[in-house]
Amino acid sequence: MGKKKIILANIGNRNLTYKGKTLIPDTRPTEPPSSFREQTKALLDEYDTVREDLNEQILTVLLNDIGVEQIDYVVLFASDNQIAGDRNDQDTIHEAAILKRLLADRMNLVAEVVPYTGNVTHNDDLLRFYRDALRPYQQTEHDLVVCDAGGTAQQKSALKIGAEYLLPPDRYTVRYVLPSGRVTPVEQVEYRRIIDEEQVAALVEHGQYAGAMAIYSAINRRDEIVERLIRFADLRVKSLWADARKELSASVMALLPFLKQFGSGKPSGNYAQFAPFFKEQAFFLLCERFEIAQNAWRLRDYSGAVLNFQIFQETFLNTFITSFGAYDLVGNYYNACTKLIEDLTNDQSPIVGLFGGSLKQGVPLTIRYAQSLAHNAAAIQRLFNWFEQSNAVLNGTRKGTDSLRNNIAHNGKGVDEKLLLSVFPAFDQMLIDIQYTLGIPSASSFVIVDKLITNRLRQ
């Protein structure tokens, strides 16, 4: 008999069944406990009563296939998200505790639960977690078996990458439990390259281009076009548009109409209706900034969405006012805004009355002044109406995207979805309407480029 084995397994919410059914059906129950975490906590609390109705349907198949007598112990990687504001309703920490007891009761196996307290979709954090969790097994005399089932796609990928990079290659195997109940080994021919490419794809799909590039650059037989596209996406999301354009060779631009348009400096929006007020390059940059904000919202990066929206708003206002020639808010904001206040005050402009007779520099003033200039520009007025509604001073609520931005910039306080929608519930609708008004296509150019990258990776 060979050395006894240690089993390393992620736990997902399909591992456990109760009365023959998994705990999360297609339609969530309406009565509490409604979340997976709550359901498994309730079952754990009543374990002695409900034990006979509980079964594990993935890991035990593998354990029986190996032979329980050949197993020393089992390591269960479970999720227990402790990040404030993040969802943790699908976490498996209580399920893992149940499985630990089931393995002891039914197979006489010792199991160790190792909790991951971060977000189960954050690849960088997961890689660090598995790196630390797997290090103790680098010098082990045991044979190691990685169960390639259970957990999120990011958890699976991170565990396999960690095993490939850290564990002795002659000391571990990866096995997969098929839906049919058959256990099959996962071939390790070019395994490292394959999992690296899958990890790169997962990072790209979550907008983490720098991490994707760091992994991809270490892969043999790289695709130059994929490299260029990842670097392009990374530079673009960092607002380094001139540098991003350098990555667009003729062969890359030929792949997508958007890439050709970007490479030529043409805005993604409908420039014609904004041409009287913006140079084409300025409108290009505005559209890009807006798309970055919208992409951050898509990726649930709410702080990034707020920051980039506010930059878009302020840049739009300053550029629009500057186009009339009297006040250069783009080139010399402080002096130009000081002169604007003096002129409005001396002319007894109605705008002064809107602020109680006293004006001060800031976005509320530029919104009101820009509105006074845009009488015959319906599309621009439409944008200004959104700017007004989202501004803490002008909407009369003392809450707005500008106040969130200030908290990020000055107090280091991030924004989650709940906070953002409590401050400005129409944020998503505003983004959709501004996108339509700018004439930006509804299909996200970020998603289009991401799909191009991932499709080439998986060819």
Q: Where are the domains of the chain?
A: 5-187, 190-265, 269-440
CB 405, CB 233: distance < 8 Å: no
Whole-model pTM? Answer: 0.63
CB 415, CB 408: distance < 8 Å: yes
Give the sign of the dihedral formed by CA 224, CA 226, CA 232, CA 235.
Answer: negative
CB 116, CB 130: distance < 8 Å: no
Q: What is the pLDDT of residues 424-442, one digit of tens each?
A: 999 999 999 999 999 999 9
Task: Work out whether strand 143-147 and strand 172-177 pair parallel, antiparallel, or are unpaired.
Answer: parallel
Residues forming a β-bridge with 115:
78
Cα separation, 211 vs 234, in Å, equals 9
> Which runs of consecutive H residues, i.e. helices, occur in 300-400?
302-322, 333-346, 350-354, 363-373, 378-389
Written as one letter, the residue type at 173 is: T
Assign domain 5-187 one CATH number from 3.40.50.10770, 1.10.10.60, 3.40.50.1360, 3.40.50.10420: 3.40.50.10770
Predicted pLDDT of residue 191: 58
Cα separation, 229 vs 244, in Å, equals 9
> Which runs of consecutive H residues, i.e. helices, occur in 374-416?
378-389, 401-411
Written as one letter, the residue type at 93 is: I
Annotate 251-260 with b (16+ C-beta within 10 A) or e (fewer).
ebbeebebbe
Cα separation, 365 vs 407, in Å, equals 20
Low-confidence ranges of the chain (pLDDT < 70): 1-2, 24-33, 187-191, 220
With a CB cutoff of 8 Å and minimum separation 6, the contacts of 301 are: 207
Predicted pLDDT of residue 167: 86
How confident is the prediction for the chain on average, in pLDDT? 92
Predicted pLDDT of residue 187: 63
Counting residues of the chain whose pLDDT is more than 70, the rounded percentage is 96
Cα of 106 vs its chain's centroid, Å:
40
Predicted pLDDT of residue 218: 80
